[in-house]
Amino acid sequence: MRTFVRYILTAIAAVGLLAGCAVGGEPVIDPLGTQEDSSKEAENMPVSQEELASVVWSLLAYGQAEDLQSLAPDTEVTLQFDTAAGQINGFSSCNRYFGGASIDPENGSLAFGPIGMTRMSCGSPINEQEAVYIAILQTAERLVIEDERLVVFAADDQVLVFSPGPAVE
């Protein structure tokens, strides 16, 4: 329970501080300790399947919750949910990816099935960024939507923070 509360506090802090993100893969924020007294209770907060599937989510930051990284310059990482089909897909800096997704809208728990992807090579640092992103995505455990940001929590205090992108048609 204490770990979950730490995750939630990290998400709230990350959402509030991401406006000052750096570029180029450098550390962007230290989200812990900034909003410890937050009165928001995100545990068991329902996640709208429609809200998840209505946009293409664009990655803002990723990595250890205490040391989030911004994307490498001129790269894009996206995540799109097809909740009706139980699928995800997106672009991971260099390659397209796809896989199964199981989401519990009542408590935000999720699990992704095996993730397949195209196999282009784009060189450093793009390949490294992509590998870290996919590794975090494959160990995802929970998500919340807070202040229009999607925060995905994964094993080992790893976090993915997305902003809403274009609407899905």
CATH code assigned at 63? 2.40.128.270
Tell me the pLDDT of the chain (169 aa) as tens digits.
Answer: 444 434 444 444 443 433 334 334 434 433 332 344 333 444 445 678 888 999 999 999 999 999 999 999 999 999 999 999 999 999 999 999 999 999 988 888 999 999 999 999 999 899 999 999 999 999 999 999 988 899 999 999 999 999 999 898 7
**Domain ranges, residue 27:** 2-38+45-167
State how many domains the chain has: 1
Helices (H), the chain: 2-17, 49-53, 126-138
Q: For strand 110-117 and strand 96-103, is the pairing parallel, antiparallel, or unpaired?
A: antiparallel
Structure tokens at 150: 């999607």
Name the 3-class secondary structure at 19.
helix
